[in-house]
Structure formats: structure tokens, C-alpha cells
A and B are shown apart, each in its own frame.
Chain A
Amino acid sequence: MAKKIIATASLSGCFGCHMSFLDIDAKILDLIELVEFNKSPIDDIKKFTKQCDIGLIEGGCCNDENVHNLLDFRKNCKVLVSVGECAIMGGLPALRNMVPLQECLEEAYLNGPTVRDCNENKIIPNDPELPKILNKVYPCHEIVKIDYFLPGCPPTAELIWNALVTLATGAELKLPYESVRFD
């Protein structure tokens, strides 16, 4: 059987889900036998070089670059999986959805204790090189169709491993009851 091709991305996440993936420890050596990696921070492939079987998405969308990247993944992956709370429902970054974006920026750059008496020109970063921040943080399934969801903050290494093995072998993914949780 041909190896399944995997791609991964971290959008507006903390990279904890990728770290949890690494917590499969020595199984990573088995994984190399089972799958082939394409576009992923795990390797040097920065653009899709072929159609992938499985795309793992960590993080929601907080700026326009996240959205671009997610659309790119949908286009190039047969199966797309939201991995972890941020991808599934915005996670911690989505706490800012309850506050106007302008207030968040002002707190960080104008009003915080280490800036309020020394930012004489009232600078808030706005360079054209910086991506545009979205009004809200969006979960991935509000941007593109998502096929599967792996819960947890982060999902355990065991869950990520089982999911990959079942997807790579073509089986249906089953979620044990105790794995359906927020943290």
C-alpha cells in the first residue's frame, strides 16, 4: 500500500498541538514508515508539491494570512482535520472576540505599564508588511469544510497517533468518550 501523504499547519495556535504530536516519542520513527510528509513545519517543504491525503490544522484564523493558508490546505488535502481547541472553536485567542480589536491594540501598545509613559508618538503597529488582523478569531470550520475534529488542548499524543493510524489505513476514526473534552 502506498504511503499516505500528510501536511500540517499551525495557524493562530500556540504550537502545543504540534508538540503533543511530538509526544508520540519513539513512535515518530514508526510514523516515517507509515506516512510521507509534505508541507509542514516538520520539514522544509514550504509549498504543496503534490495532492495530500491528510491535512492537520492547528489553530484558528486571526488574520488574513491564516485564512489564505487554510484555503490552500483545503484545496490540497483530501481530508482536513481540525486538531485541538483553537482550530475547533478558536480556543484561548478567541477570548478577544468579546473585546473590540482596537481596545486590545491600545492596551498592548498605548496603555500597558511599560509603554504608556514612553510611546510619545502613540504608535500602534500598522506597517504594510504586517498581515491584516481579522475582527474576530474564527474556528476553521467557519472558513472551510472540515472533515474531522480532534478535541483537547492539546489532544493527547495517543489520540493524535490513533487518528493518524486509522486515517492512514483507511479506517473510520472513533473517538473514545473520555477524549471528548476541553482541556
Chain B
Amino acid sequence: MGKKITIEPVTRVEGHGKVTININDKGEVEQSRLHIVEFRGFERFVQGRPYWEAPVLVQRLCGICPVSHHLASAKAIDVIVGAGTGTGLTPAGEKMRRLMHYGQIFQSHSLHFFHLAAPDLLFGYDSDPALRNVIGIAMANKELAVQAVLMRKFGQEIIKATAGKKIHGTGAIPGGINKNLSVAERDSFLKAADPNNADYMVKWAQGALDFFKGYYKKNKDFIDNFSYFPSNHMSLVRKDGALDLYHGVLRAVDADGRKVLHDVDYQDYLKYIREEVKSWSYMKFPYMMSMGKEKGWYRVGPLARLNTADFIPSPIAQKEFEEYKSLTGKVNNRCMHTHWARLIETIHAAEMIRDLLNDSDLQSDNLVTSGTRQARGVGVIEAPRGTLFHEYSVNNNDQITECNMIVSTTNNNEPMNRAVNFVAKAMMNGKKEITEGMMNAVEVAIRAYDPCLSCATHAYGQMPLEITLIDPNGMILDKKAK
């Protein structure tokens, strides 16, 4: 008799995402699905609002990386007020936003690594779930916990100094920024006693990467082969091919490294990207039109970015990038290497923050620019979790008439579903009993993408799981929770 397995991250009533796995009467996984169960309707209800509200409204999609939505929508609105497509701002305008963004990357990547990845690495994937969280870290290794807290704090303070608030700030406005960085604010980051200064953050970021590399040496087989499958990869890159998380052109490569999207202007993203709708998830499935629904799906995020970029424009991260490339080859399709790529980006973010803080343009009073009013604008940014698209059209009354967003985690929808399927088949095919370890493995595969499903599922390490075995007639055969 066949059966259906449901894995619901976070409890049933609170989950924003859940997994169902159908097993046929031979004990083989027939179908697996990651369902996203939340629907908000932002695209419709921002219609009619004045365009300048967009950067403060739409960021409330997500409290974990609000800066990404804040800046992506601000970049789209820049186009509408005639301030150019990402490069037309004043030096202070662009650099304040870059500082805000790299602060965001730094805090989000730190949060993910320490609160999410580190507990698994420190204690093991099958260790006591009660300890496998940030509190467990605090009890086992207080020094590491303090480092986790202070790294995240540093990023949050950078955001506060540039956006006005740590969460849901208001710094970016149409055509620029509403404040510069005072000398006192700058010095609070550059001259603070160790460890709370920018130089020390670079060192700590390197330490986090060393920690991971040490783990990799001992667990090479797992990190290399867990949930390993080929895919396309997409991200922004700077015009010269450098990693650039704030602005660039759209590039995608296939699983062998051939370019399939050739450094195109993202204002034209509708020429290249569509989304498929499936009845069983509120999250759509994006794909590149040139390759079709079946083959055009792609990954975004740290792993994808280090596949599309030719180099990293900061010395310590570049050195790590070269080592990473020499060990992993031209294109990296190994899911768990995302952690590695993320930590290289964390170093890059720390270096960028330090260099920007030393740039006197941040003390300029020339904050805003404008030009010929346009009817439509697209803003794209590399959020911590990957490429984020915002598009707005406005009418003559300055009201939004159309809004479209493809958020980072949506771009990773198909890859996450593939990952679930990969692991479910590898772990559950032909097995009589579904163990906690198997459920855990499915969760680990999803978690590598750092998904913002319900923000809750990824923010604090362990996702609580509930699993139900149901026969084809809907009878519950067994129920397990961990």
C-alpha cells in the first residue's frame, strides 16, 4: 500500500512551508513537493499608493532582510524619477546605499552561519535537537556565541547609521539617500575598541571561514555529495565580471559554465524571465524563457554568484575565491558548498564596509538627484539569498499602477524542490520506517538555500518538524514529531 508523508517545518498551524512526499506500494518515492502556504497579495494592494511609499512599504515583506527590498524598490523608483538605472546617483547617494547593503549582507550571512549552520557543524546533524540551536552554542562555546552576537550587531549598527533604524529603516529615497554618515558615526565603526571595529570584523569573518574549512576537511564526502545536482546559475555581476551585490548586469551560466544569459540590462528582465504557476504552492516557479519551463530554472544566492562572477574586487575574499575555485572547478553545483561561498561573501562584505567607511564621499551633503520622469522602473539587487527583482509602473498622479516582484527564495523554488526530491529518494526509497534522521536530512537540504519561507523556518537553526504517514485513503498510519 502506498503512503503519503508530510513534513511540516514549524508546527502545522504556524508553518509557512511544508513538504509532502508520496511513497508508492513498492516503497519508492513517487512525488515530493515543497509547498509555500503563505499568501499576502502585495502586488495588488500597493496599487494606488504613491510611488515614494514603495521603499518603506514593500520592505515589510521580510524582517530578516528588509534592506534588500528597501533598496530594490528604491532602485526601481530611481528610474521613475529619472535618476538613472543604478549608476546615476550622487557619490554619497550610491555609497551610503552600498554601505547599508553590505551591512545587511554581513549581518544576514553571520546570522545564517552562526545560528543555523554552526549548530549542525558543532554538534552534528543527529545530535540532541534541544541543544542544536543558538542557546546550545551559548552553553557549549560562549566565545563563539559572543562572536555571533557581535558580528550580527555590527551589521545591524551599520544599517541603523545608514537607514535610521535597524529593521524597516527609511534611508533610501527616490533618487538617493536622506542622510550622510557623520564623522562621529564613521569613527564609531572605525575606531571602536576591539572587537567592535571594521578591521576586526574582517578578521572574525576569516575565522568563520577557517572554521568551516576545518569542518570540510573532516567531512569532505558529506559536504561534496549531499544533495548534489546540476543546474543553471544566475546573478548580477559588475560590467567587468566582478562580484557586485548592489548593482550590475544579469548573467546566467549553465551547469557546465556556458553563458546562457549574456550580461543583459535588467530593465529588460521581462524579455528573459517568466514564472510558472502550480496549484500546490503560493510560490511561483521562475525560468529563463530561452530554455523553457523544463530546463530554464536556475539557482541564485552565494553558490550561484561565485559561479557567475569572474573575480571578487577585494583582496582577502579574492584570495579565498581563488582557493575555492581551484578546489571546486569552474562551476560548482554542490549544494552544501553554498555555506562555503556564503562565508567568502561575508569576508567580502566586511572588506567593503571597511573601505566604504574610509571614503570621504560619505560625508558629502549632495545626497539626491533626479531627471526626466519615467512611467516604469525595474530595480534588481543581490540580496543575501540571491537575485531580487522589483518592477513598478506609475501613472501621472504618481500612483503605482502595477507592481511585480520575484524574491530571492522564489528564484530558488525549483532547486529547493529538486533538493527535497533528491534527498527523499536517497534516504527513503525502499525503507520500511521513516526515521527522524531522514526527516532531518530533508530539512538540511532545504536549509542550505537559507530560504526565507516563513522567515521563521530559517532564522533560528533547527526547524521543528512534524511527519505524518497517511495511506492513499487519507487514513493516518503514523505520526511523528521531533
Contacts and interface: CB of A to CB of B under 8 A. Distances in A.
B63 A114 contact: no
B459 to A, nearest CB: 6
Interface in A64-80: 65-66, 68-69, 72
A180 interface: no
Contacts of B166: 20, 23, 157
A43 B404 contact: no
A80 B20 CA distance: 33
Nearest to B146: A26
Nearest to A22: B152
B11 to A, nearest CB: 4
A51 interface: no
B454 interface: yes
A125 interface: yes
B66 interface: yes
B38 interface: yes
Nearest to B130: A44
Contacts, number: 221
Contacts of A19: 63-64, 167, 455, 459
Contacts of A114: 270, 273-275, 284, 286, 404, 406
B275 A115 contact: yes
Interface in B266-288: 270, 273-282, 284, 286
Interface in B161-207: 165-168, 170
Given A26-B149, A153-B60, A63 B135 contact: no
Contacts of A123: 277-279
A154 interface: yes
A92 interface: yes
Contacts of A23: 153, 156, 166-167
Contacts of B18: 129
B277 A119 contact: yes
Nearest to A19: B63
Contact of B454 (A10, A113, A119): A10
A104 B6 CA distance: 28
A104 B41 contact: yes
B280 A65 contact: no
Contacts of A92: 57, 60
B335 interface: no
A39 B273 CA distance: 41
A13 interface: yes
A42 B62 contact: no
A144 interface: no
Contacts of A10: 14, 454-456
Contacts of B111: 22
B40 interface: yes
B45 A96 contact: yes
A40 to B, nearest CB: 8
Task: Give 5 nearest A-B pairs by CB, closest first.
Answer: A16-B63, A15-B455, A104-B41, A46-B464, A127-B280
Given A14-B62, A114-B286, 12 more contacts: A11-B14, A14-B61, A19-B63, A22-B152, A43-B462, A65-B14, A104-B39, A113-B402, A123-B279, A125-B277, A130-B280, A153-B60
